[in-house]
Amino acid sequence: MSRQSKAHIAVLGANFIFGANYAIVKYITPGYLHPYALNVVRILTSLALFWLLFLFKPGKVKLERKHIPRFILCAITGVVINQIMFIKGVSLTTPIHSALLSLATPIFITLIAAWLLREGFTFLKFTGLALGIGGAAILILLKDPVHSGSDELLGDILVLINAISYSFYLVLVRPLMQHYSGIQVLRWIFTFGALVILPFGMPEFLSTQWQAFGFSEWLALGAVAIGATFLAYLLNVYGISIIGSAATGSYIYTQPVFAVIIAVVFAGEHFSITKLVAAVLIFSGVFLANKKE
């Protein structure tokens, strides 16, 4: 099997894990674990595992001072904002909402690029932006009767912020991959990210009632901390190093498929006509916004 094929399989696997993560996070938080406490568990576990890998693959290149600002920026977008907003957002909204809203990211990135980088903003991109915003608005404004008591609006907004932040990370991390190994990059990104996340969530972490956890809760916690953080990030950065940020980022479109199947089968979610319409609008918007003219 070629390196390209392995990279595509790795990235697909990462997005399957991310897709399953929506339902798993919703299961464990906020009922058993505060969202910020879960962030502490994720960052501590991943940090320990990435530095443990240092014993086997220390990295041939020493960290250069000129790259430190980019590492910090990647840590802020790819770890701090991404993880805090994701966990808190999913705890407030539904797994299907979270997965579908994450698809709007490429559309907003197109808008930002047109504004800041003076890239052409064509009629197709405008149409794609309108469709994507329309689909997101349907999800955000039309409440699910089953979850009408929860603060879905805030959760949906936080998930959108998380997805946009992670997309910026995928672009920002690419130059670092040309100088360092994937493990080396993640090791330092999580180290810098931990400096912000640990003080932020430590009070909730210390007040957690761990004795209330059963086997399924510990299993879910392990899936989030090891699978959806350490393993998924490792698979994604492997993909970026071989097939690039754009190809790796495009696999985000598979997340809702995995998330919907898992949420419906295992979490009892309902995929309504409203969600289907929103999904079609968002998928269409992403397609038009990124279509080559």
With beta carbons less than 8 A apart as the criterion, state whether 144 and 152 touch.
yes
- Between residues 103 and 41, which one has the greater pLDDT? 41
pTM value is 0.75
Q: How confident is the model at residue 202 (pLDDT cuts 50, 70, 90)?
A: very high
User: Environment class of residue 60 by beta-carbon count within 10 Å: exposed (0-12), middle (13-18) or buried (19+)?
Assistant: exposed
Q: How confident is the model at residue 143 (pLDDT cuts 50, 70, 90)?
A: low
264/20 Cα distance (integer angstroms) = 11
Checking if the pLDDT of 81 tops 90, the result is yes
Nearest to 121 by CA among 93, 83, 112, 68: 112
239/241 Cα distance (integer angstroms) = 5
175/196 Cα distance (integer angstroms) = 23
197/46 Cα distance (integer angstroms) = 13
Q: What share of the chain is helix, strand, coil (3-state, %, to 5)?
A: 80, 0, 20
pLDDT value for 120: 61
pLDDT (average), residues 146-167: 76
Domain hosting 180: range is 3-289
Checking if the pLDDT of 141 tops 80, the result is no
Percent of the chain residues topping a pLDDT of 70: 81
Compute the mean pLDDT over every residue in the chain, rounded to the nearest whole number.
80
Asked whether the bond before 203 is cis by omega within 30 degrees of 0, the reply is no
**Maximum average pLDDT range among 18-22, 92-96, 118-122, 258-262:** 18-22
236/282 Cα distance (integer angstroms) = 23
For CA atoms 44, 34, 164, 223, give the dihedral sign.
positive
pLDDT in tens, 13-64: 998 998 888 888 888 888 889 999 999 998 999 889 888 887 776 666 678 8
Number of folded domains in the chain? 1
Checking if the pLDDT of 149 tops 50, the result is no
Structure tokens at 118: 């003076």
pLDDT value for 178: 82
Structure tokens at 47: 């940090």
pLDDT value for 242: 85
Contacting residues for 99 by C-beta, under 8 A, at least 6 apart: 19, 22, 255, 256, 258, 259, 260, 263
Q: Report which DSSP code applies to 63.
A: P
Structure tokens at 226: 């090891």
pLDDT in tens, 168-182: 887 788 788 888 887
Residue 185 CB-half CA count within 13 A: 25
